[in-house]
Amino acid sequence: MQVFVTGGSGFVGTTLCARLRQSGHAVTVLTRSEKGAARLPAGVEACVGDPTAPGDWQEAAAACDAAVNLAGANLFNRWSEEYKALIRSSRVDTTRNLVAALARHQGEAPVLVSASAVGYYGPRGDEELSEQSPPGDDFLAKVCLEWEAEARAAAKFGARVACTRFGIVLGDGGGALGQMLPVFKLGLGGPLGSGRQWFSWIHQEDLVAALLFCLESQVSGALNCCAPHPVRNREFTRTLGRVLGRPALLPAPGFAVRLALGEMGSVVLTGQRVIPQALTRAGFSFKFPELEGALRDLLA
Ligand SMILES: NC(=O)c1ccc[n+]([C@@H]2O[C@H](COP(=O)([O-])OP(=O)(O)OC[C@H]3O[C@@H](n4cnc5c(N)ncnc54)[C@H](OP(=O)(O)O)[C@@H]3O)[C@@H](O)[C@H]2O)c1
């Protein structure tokens, strides 16, 4: 397959592109800068352009059989009103422009695998959530709804569309684990707020395998991309401390988390208990279903 990837220079994208190449696919990545292009794995073609605006890049996208849509401004930041507008436009406008490009694809209908997040469900306490659960109504949930609606529009011209709702991705050299490790390695980590909030996570290798599965099988619609065993924040903290051989007992009070992170703080103090029902029913199997095995693999 000829696969077009937005956000391919990022934490998930670089691993995905390397894996797509290993599986024999041709890969073109849309990046906003030469710096992004320099991060791409060997054998991946770069196309420089702004995904939030229509442009020449859409011709390269239209020529591909499939697209994986990962672009989006990083969420781990203080959310000013201006930054919230960027979080939204970097996902919603990008997806609209990508779908407009795919509509011009000649020949067999294209495939679109588009990222979304378990933030779709909003803060939900202990409720077990599958793809059929209704969306939340906080800022992130509304962004995810719009993001997915733009992707689903591709079904109107016959594309097969998979909206992949990622849990927190645990991987090498970045993401949430990259942010937490320095503190935990010093023995200064601990639960956030009450520590009772659920944490739906996925090993990066399983996420990349799930994205490939979505490209190569016939699945469509919403698919939760998170391990089958979510944990509470308290258990996550304890497991990470044990794997690192460090104490992880210093709690970060909720007010301090909110003070440091603003509205993003509320997101990490709540959370969702999400189950990958659609992927499991479609026959996908996780290499790292349990947290301890995933962390031991990543931190060995
Ligand atoms: N990592 C997680 O735990 C997680 C969890 C849930 C959902 N997700 C979603 O999955 C996607 C990929 O995640 P990731 O962790 O790989 O993200 P990432 O490392 O932050 O990479 C995202 C890519 O998006 C592009 N980008 C950044 N800011 C942009 C902007 N303002 N406008 C347009 N493009 C922009 C960048 O590419 P260039 O600089 O090359 O243009 C960047 O490489 C994101 O949409 C994210 O929200 C991630």
The pLDDT value recorded for residue 173 is 83
The token duo for 42 is 């060997």
Query: What whole-number distance in Å separates Cα of residue 221 and Cα of residue 163?
Result: 6
The token duo for 39 is 């991060």
C-alpha count within 13 angstroms, C-beta hemisphere, residue 14: 15
Q: Is the pLDDT of residue 28 over 90?
A: yes
Pocket test for ligand 1, best of 169, 179, 200, 208 (most atoms within 8 A of CB): 169
Atom 38 of ligand 1, residue of closest alpha carbon = 31
The pLDDT value recorded for residue 262 is 87
Distances (CA, A) of 172 to 92, 165, 297: 28, 20, 10
Please state the domain extents for the chain. Answer: 2-173+202-228+274-288
Give the model confidence (pLDDT) of 164-174 as tens digits: 999 999 999 89
Share of the chain above pLDDT 90, in %: 93
The pLDDT value recorded for residue 270 is 94
Q: Is the pLDDT of residue 125 over 90?
A: yes
The pLDDT value recorded for residue 76 is 87
Single out the residue of 83, 64, 74, 66 nearest to residue 12, CA to CA.
74
CA 70–ligand 1 middle distance (angstroms): 6
Give the model confidence (pLDDT) of 198-239 as tens digits: 999 999 999 999 999 999 999 999 999 999 999 999 999 999
CA 250–ligand 1 middle distance (angstroms): 30
Confidence category of residue 61, pLDDT binned at 50, 70, 90: very high
Query: What whole-number distance in Å separates Cα of residue 116 and Cα of residue 69?
Result: 9
The pLDDT value recorded for residue 259 is 86
Distances (CA, A) of 94 to 83, 99, 152, 167: 16, 9, 13, 21
Average pLDDT of the residues of the chain: 96
User: CATH assignment of 2-173+202-228+274-288?
Assistant: 3.40.50.720
Pocket of ligand 1 (CB under 6 A): 7, 9-13, 31-33, 36, 51-52, 70-75, 86, 90, 94, 115, 117, 166, 168-169, 175-176
The pLDDT value recorded for residue 261 is 86
Q: Is the pLDDT of residue 52 over 90?
A: yes
Average confidence (pLDDT) over 124-130: 97
The pLDDT value recorded for residue 77 is 85
**Closest ligand 1 atom, residue 170 Cα:** 3
